[in-house]
Amino acid sequence: MAKQKVKPVKFNKYLYYENSVQTPEQHVEIYDKMFKDIRKREAMSLREDFCGTFLISCEWVKSNEKRTATGMDLDPEPVGYGMKNGYRKLNPAQKKRVRVYLQDVCTPTNEKFDVIGAANFSFNIFKTREQLKKYFVAAKNSLHKDGIFNLELAGGPGLIKEGKEQKTYNVKEVGGKYTYYWDQKSFDPINHHGLFAIHFKSVDGVFHKDCFVYDWRIWSIPELKEIMLEAGFKDVVVYWEAADKDGNGTEEYVQTEKGDNAYSWIAFVVGIK
């Protein structure tokens, strides 16, 4: 019998993004590990800032039947996609423990959280110290008294060099192979503003340009630590990716005061209330 071909799914940039970029299970593990490391107990409540399709929130409530998650984002389009996809796949009990608000992350919430996380370098949208400090103050005021604030950031010469990277994925959810492109369009060393974009070549071979465009300021770890302390955090620590004997990243993050001068790196800066 001839093997039936899988019909490609109609192109949707959020589906492609989730399959190419996001690792919700890993982020849940990271938040869980770091909170236990710092507070010696299990985190139960998460606020996912700049949540988009809020996959991390969905994964968080799946990881423990008592956990709650709140997503916050200003853009209704990705949130709408998340409601029809990741959220829809949750069981009824899990759905009750997820809330999503179209709200500015710079506005403190009445509800308090164990962990507030900003993943995938999203906070780089703030380009001035004033804007960033306002966000940090709002986050601190939205945490429980022993809460932590977790920022994921990237750096190194590889982040500021102009150029394109591409990777091919074979994913059943989209019906076959597609290509993901990360495009580093420009970087200004005077103001540290960078322009980045994600393109896709979909399963049917069509090129989709500028599906996501990021106009960021690339903040350094010392700057983030200084502004967090100014915002009132009691302490700030850094989790750096551990390397194996060949110098390759292990996707395990350890608290440290020194990092290696890698071409490209990802780290987590954690504010402790």
How many other CB atoms are found less than 10 A from the CB of residue 144? 16
Domain boundaries, the chain: 15-156+219-272, 158-217
CATH code of the domain made up of 15-156+219-272: 3.40.50.150
Q: Which two tokens stand for residue 112?
A: 């308090």
Question: Looking at residue 1, what is its pLDDT?
Answer: 45
Q: How far apart are CA 123 and CA 107, in angstroms?
A: 14
Contact 187, 218 (CB under 8 A): yes
Q: In this structure, what DSSP letter does residue 148 have? A: E
Question: Looking at residue 7, what is its pLDDT?
Answer: 65
Question: Looking at residue 5, what is its pLDDT?
Answer: 56
Which amino acid does the sequence have at 251?
E
Q: In this structure, what DSSP letter does residue 52 have? A: T
Question: Looking at residue 247, what is its pLDDT?
Answer: 67
Question: Looking at residue 31, what is its pLDDT?
Answer: 97
Predicted TM-score (pTM) above 0.95: no
Which amino acid does the sequence have at 181?
Y
Question: Looking at residue 10, what is its pLDDT?
Answer: 86
> Which pLDDT tens digits describe the chain residue by residue (273 residues)?
444 555 667 899 999 999 999 999 999 999 999 999 999 999 999 999 999 999 999 999 999 999 999 999 999 999 999 999 999 999 999 999 999 999 999 999 999 999 999 999 999 999 999 999 999 999 999 999 999 999 999 999 999 999 999 999 988 888 889 999 999 999 999 999 999 999 999 999 999 999 999 999 999 999 999 999 999 999 999 999 887 777 677 788 999 999 888 888 999 999 999
